[in-house]
Chain A
Amino acid sequence: MAKLTIPAQELMYRGHAACPGCGPALAMRLLLKGLGPRTILSIPACCWTVIATPFPTTALGVAVLDNPIEATGASISGLRAAADALGLDDVTVVGFAGDGGTADIGLQALSGMLERRTNALFVMYDNEGYMNTGIQRSGATPRGAWTTTTPVEGGRHGKREAKKEIMGIVLAHHPAYAATVNPAFPEDFVRKAEKARDVRGPRFLHVFAPCPPGWKFSSEETIALGRLATESGLFPLYEVEDGVYRLTRKGGSLKPVDEYVRRQGRFRHWSPEEIRELGDEVRARWEALLRLERETAPARAAATPVLAPAPA
């Protein structure tokens, strides 16, 4: 059996207010294991506002600052600036936001933080919708998914539009480090969190965060669903450091997406044809990712000599 690499220290306490099987709760627990106690979290309005429990209690063993939903990117720029001004050099400043607070209403502040190269980590936990307000559609909701604002009745068949690609948006800002993580793969998650802690400059983690009540699946299936998402290529695990792509889990051929889709009530209305289309889409994205990995791989020790500069 492989040696476990996950730190034993718990910085998320029992007694938190998450639903059973909450993906964002698992995400926070693993993230803090990787980041450690000198973390300052800035959390916008999202599920975690509530999960952390109301005043005067807290479920988190680190410093937490609340901010309005659209401003997390700016908040971590402010925390970083203050930490630098006050000589708090050893703290890790982290924004921890949902997909709405990152990719929709929070996109401007995120872009600003990335562009001005704030030395901080932005984590988007992606439960693919506004779940804290009762399952409404976000830009990160996948095409065809049922939500309360993309109903499956009358002429509607769930969300009409494709999921917003946050990694593409983030990578266009050339961050120092960006990666995808999934609580179903905890060693990979913690390793990337540790790396995100140690890299300097703007960093980003996209977390796969299943939501049992929002996606309509049994709360004991969160990990199983997470494994399926990655193994079928729907949520590939990779990291991009200084522009170099690296898939951190390849493992043979992709599983079909059918089981992932069939296990969730939000896709119950899908036809076999729609599942096939999703499969095609996922395979195309996977191939594109493999191509990016090949194309951005650092040149091996110069087999062909590069041209030496002409002597002055």
Chain B
Amino acid sequence: MTREVLSGNYAQSYAVRLARAQVVSAYPITPQTTIVEKLAEFVATGALKAQFVEVESEHSALQVVVSAAGLGARTYTATSSQGLLLMHELMHWASGMRAPVVMGVVNRAVAPPWNIGADHTDTISQRDTGWIQLYPESNQEVLDTVLEAYRLCEMEDVRLPAMVTEDAFYLSHTYEPVDVPAAELVDRFLPPREAHAVLVPGRANRLGSFTGPDHYVEFRHELARATAAVPRRLLEVEEEYRRLTGRAYGGALPTYRTEGADAVLVTMGTIGTTARTVVDELRAEGRKVGLAKLRVFRPFPEEELRHLAGEVDRLGVVDRAYTFGAAGPAATEVRAAIYPSPHRPLVADFLAGVGGRDVTPAHVRRMFDELLGAPTAETRWVDLAPEEVGAHG
């Protein structure tokens, strides 16, 4: 193990090197670029023995790694925002072909207007594509999660693609000390990919194919079954990783000081770090609040949320994306997940931090205040400038 000072983006690059990815392909987009710049350097110096395919679009980048994975290679790509949206058709191909591609996505706002700040609209808009979605909140967690993602995705009963996200700039361009595990250790955790159901040259076989209603349903069901295997497999992978490195992150919905809480805030990505300090402050003031982190958005941690719902009366969900005509996407899914519970807490929805707007401890404190006061079901737009409302239409 070495301790390095790495940006979130470099944490991805170092993890991909440790994972010994064999085919890497990417197209530049801010703020993803430094991930692949570092990988290009690793490949050039021989630190990573991979084919680095320079492509003319994100769409082609994802096709390159989907096809490469189809032949049995371990692959990686990375993108952001518009690039991810351009990949949309290929997102379905990756999961449908059961290609265990790992992709770094630096969460960035979607245009117009152009904006490169942190925002979850890009990845949330891909939630129905059959990808596993993981949302770390520190650079250490980014590195560890990329390695865990490879292990998880390549399991025979999973064989699904996964994205490991980073909040733009808060993680992608912020440097933190990161423990980089030794290569031998990672090799034990992540041996070379075992090729299950890949294309075999020299004989009649087809990956992709086409089919009518007589088989299509079963193909879709296989995909659903694979996704259903993820929660249990993720816990196993985390436990293996913990045994080797001593680090673990508490599964799909880690909680913090939720015992006896009157109100719990549910966050994704880096807002969790800010919220945790506020929880400590409020607890010190004698207010009973806690935090739950949606570390995995797909598959959605329904069971964990139902468990949490049984312990608390008020949940506040912080969304960094908005579904127009509905509500914050995480809030909507939390509500759906807890609906079958015998005890249904009130769920408030806070829209915060979109387009890179800072979410400060003061904002989080106000969310808790509102949650403990008289919360409404309507989405609350945090830090909205009242004088600007209606001025940009």
B50 at interface by CB-CB < 8 Å = yes
With the chains together, A65 CA to B69 CA distance in Å?
11
A64 and B207 form a contact (CB under 8 A): yes
A82 and B205 form a contact (CB under 8 A): no
B residues 28-84 near A (Cβ < 8 Å) are: 50-51, 53-57, 59-61, 63-73, 75
B204 and A61 form a contact (CB under 8 A): yes
B2 at interface by CB-CB < 8 Å = no
A86 and B22 form a contact (CB under 8 A): yes
Contacts of A82 in B (CB 8 A): 22-23, 51, 67-73, 75
Contacts of B90 in A (CB 8 A): 68, 71
Instruction: Name the CB-closest residue of A to B212.
Output: A54
Stretch at the interface among A1-9, A106-114, A147-155, A294-302: A106-114
Shortest distance from the beta carbon of A15 to any chain B beta carbon, whole Å = 12
A78/B205 contact (C-beta < 8 A), A40-B71, A54-B212 known = no
Instruction: Name the CB-closest residue of A to B209.
Output: A55
Contacts of A71 in B (CB 8 A): 59-60, 63, 90
- Of A38, A49, A81, which one neighbours B53 at CB under 8 angstroms? A81
- What's the count of A-B pairs with C-beta under 8 Å? 158
A86 and B60 form a contact (CB under 8 A): no
With the chains together, A87 CA to B63 CA distance in Å?
21
C-beta contact mask, A94-113 vs B, less than 8 Å → 1, else 0?
00000000000000110110
- Of A50, A56, A73, A88, which one neighbours B60 at CB under 8 angstroms? A73
B93 at interface by CB-CB < 8 Å = yes
Shortest distance from the beta carbon of B3 to any chain A beta carbon, whole Å = 31
With the chains together, A86 CA to B71 CA distance in Å?
9
A65 and B211 form a contact (CB under 8 A): no
A78 and B64 form a contact (CB under 8 A): yes
Interface centre among A38, A81, A84 (most CB of B within 10 A): A81
A111/B56 contact (C-beta < 8 A), A71-B63, A78-B23 known = yes
A219 at interface by CB-CB < 8 Å = no
Instruction: Name the CB-closest residue of A to B215.
Output: A55
A78 and B65 form a contact (CB under 8 A): yes
Instruction: Name the CB-closest residue of A to B89.
Output: A68
Shortest distance from the beta carbon of A212 to any chain B beta carbon, whole Å = 23
Contacts of A75 in B (CB 8 A): 63-64, 66-67
Contacts of A274 in B (CB 8 A): none
C-beta contact mask, A180-198 vs B, less than 8 Å → 1, else 0?
0000000000000000000
B25 and A54 form a contact (CB under 8 A): no
Shortest distance from the beta carbon of B150 to any chain A beta carbon, whole Å = 15
Contacts of B23 in A (CB 8 A): 78, 81-82, 85
C-beta contact mask, A52-70 vs B, less than 8 Å → 1, else 0?
1011101011111111101
A138 at interface by CB-CB < 8 Å = no
A54 and B56 form a contact (CB under 8 A): no
A79 at interface by CB-CB < 8 Å = yes
A74 and B64 form a contact (CB under 8 A): yes
C-beta contact mask, B186-209 vs A, less than 8 Å → 1, else 0?
000000000000011111111111
B206 and A52 form a contact (CB under 8 A): yes
With the chains together, A61 CA to B66 CA distance in Å?
22
